[in-house]
């Protein structure tokens, strides 16, 4: 019985250490069928979203879902720690009657207590190993505890550093493409710019952003569960908007060259396909059409009114449909899996950007109506 306990403990320690190494240290996707981290996120995220779907308010639902990323990270680290403590306890127990406890019988529960205080290096000394194997195991576990603490200290700053880098471009997109971002707003605001290099520089920045997104979110998949600061923004909506914009440019927009747009589209499509696989998103043939014929006509009319002319060749709609077919199914799958709303191609109504709103706006407007001759210049 004790021998089987030791074997179980060794196997458990190996599995947890391998899982932690693959999740935190190894910078690539692991395709093995069973992993503790994958199993953990699959089950906890499924429960979290089931609860979240019952929240009617979109803002409150986003707020609730935003807790999952950071909280799951802490719980997973704790889960690994408890697994290691239990695994070392099994090995200690399997080594036989080798521990000393004054006037008390050694039980498996007390061995778990010894393992816990050794792992966290408490060193009370009320239970001590009394043979070479048990002492060596205690030293090994104490070293493992220090290593685990170092892992946590180094892991969290990397996660939050990657998150901050991701959010910078999303925030910049607010004034360039609206909130949430759409292809219509992006091209309407920037598509008529007389200097092509301005648009190319933006596309080049987003090509690099997509590459960073792919690299960081494959290395640290938990980042995909981290929500943006505003409920109408997300990394998925930003990625969607950029794919929509570049696909329109590749279809043909008067006065805009396609070269950089093609490179940005390729990188963005690469990111969305790989990330859909990382979170095991599922394909569905019943996804709604994001760009109906009516919306495409509205898009064309709206852009023409703002000085941007789309390609009016007979094959243009077919070409656009072909481009959409290679990325939209993955976007829909990610949207369902992560419970993130995809932005439309064009808003039905005029929506304020996030930078245009503020908690004091109504009070300021009311005061302006009361004192129509009062301006901001009076304060200076």
Encoded tokens for 120: 């966290």
Candidates 269, 218, 209; CA nearest to 244 is: 269
Each domain of the chain, given as residue ranges in start order, spans: 2-153, 162-356
Task: Give the mean model confidence (pLDDT) for residues 178-193.
Answer: 87
Cβ-proximal residues to 152 (8 Å cutoff; 6+ apart), any chain:
77
For 93-144, the pLDDT digits (tens) are 887 665 666 667 777 888 888 888 888 887 777 777 777 888 888 888 888 8
Encoded tokens for 330: 């993955």
For 191-212, the pLDDT digits (tens) are 777 677 889 999 999 999 999 9
Bigger pLDDT: 191 vs 263: 263
124 burial (CB, 10 Å; 0-12 / 13-18 / 19+) is exposed
The Cα 42–Cα 35 span in angstroms is: 11
Class (C level, CATH) for 2-153:
mainly alpha
The pLDDT value recorded for residue 379 is 43
Flag whether pLDDT at 380 surpasses 60. Answer: no
The pLDDT value recorded for residue 376 is 46
Cβ-proximal residues to 96 (8 Å cutoff; 6+ apart), any chain:
2
pTM: 0.85
The pLDDT value recorded for residue 334 is 96
Candidates 254, 171, 242, 241; CA nearest to 206 is: 242
Candidates 92, 70, 88; CA nearest to 80 is: 88
Within 1-67, where are the H helices? Answer: 2-20, 36-52, 58-66
């Amino acid at each position: 019985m004790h021998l089987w306990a030791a074997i179980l403990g060794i196997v458990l320690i190996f599995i947890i250490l391998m899982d932690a190494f693959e999740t935190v240290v190894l910078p690539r996707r692991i395709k093995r069928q069973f992993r503790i981290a994958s199993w953990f996120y699959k089950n906890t995220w499924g429960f979290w979203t089931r609860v979240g779907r019952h929240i009617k308010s979109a803002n409150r639902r986003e707020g609730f879902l935003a807790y999952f990323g950071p909280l799951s990270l802490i719980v997973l680290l704790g889960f690994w720690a408890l697994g290691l403590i239990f695994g070392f306890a099994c090995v200690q127990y399997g080594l036989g009657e080798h521990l000393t406890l004054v006037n008390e019988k050694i039980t498996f529960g007390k061995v778990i207590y010894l393992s816990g205080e050794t792992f966290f290096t408490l060193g009370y000394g009320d239970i001590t190993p009394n043979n070479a194997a048990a002492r060596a195991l205690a030293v090994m576990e104490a070293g493992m505890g220090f290593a685990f603490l170092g892992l946590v200290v180094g892991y969290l700053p990397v996660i939050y550093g990657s998150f901050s880098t991701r959010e910078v471009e999303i925030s910049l997109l607010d004034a360039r493409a609206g909130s949430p971002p759409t292809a219509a707003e992006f091209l309407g605001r920037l598509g008529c710019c007389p200097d092509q290099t301005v648009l190319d520089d933006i596309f080049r920045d987003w090509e690099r952003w997509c590459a960073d997104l792919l690299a960081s979110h494959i290395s640290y998949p938990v980042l995909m569960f981290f929500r943006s600061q505003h409920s109408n923004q997300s990394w998925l909506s930003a990625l969607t908007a950029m794919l929509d914009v570049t696909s329109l440019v590749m279809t043909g927009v008067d006065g805009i060259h396609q070269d950089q747009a093609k490179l940005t589209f390729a990188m963005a499509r690469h990111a969305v396909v790989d990330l859909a696989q990382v979170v095991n998103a599922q394909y569905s043939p019943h996804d709604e059409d994001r760009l109906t014929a009516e919306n495409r006509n509205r898009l064309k009319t709206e852009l023409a009114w703002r000085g941007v002319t789309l390609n009016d060749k007979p094959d243009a709609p077919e070409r656009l449909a072909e481009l959409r077919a290679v990325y939209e199914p993955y976007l829909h799958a990610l949207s369902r899996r992560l419970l993130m709303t995809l932005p439309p191609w064009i808003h039905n109504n005029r929506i304020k950007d996030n930078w245009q709103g503020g908690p004091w706006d109504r009070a300021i407007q009311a005061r302006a109506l009361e004192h129509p001759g009062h301006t901001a210049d009076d304060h200076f």
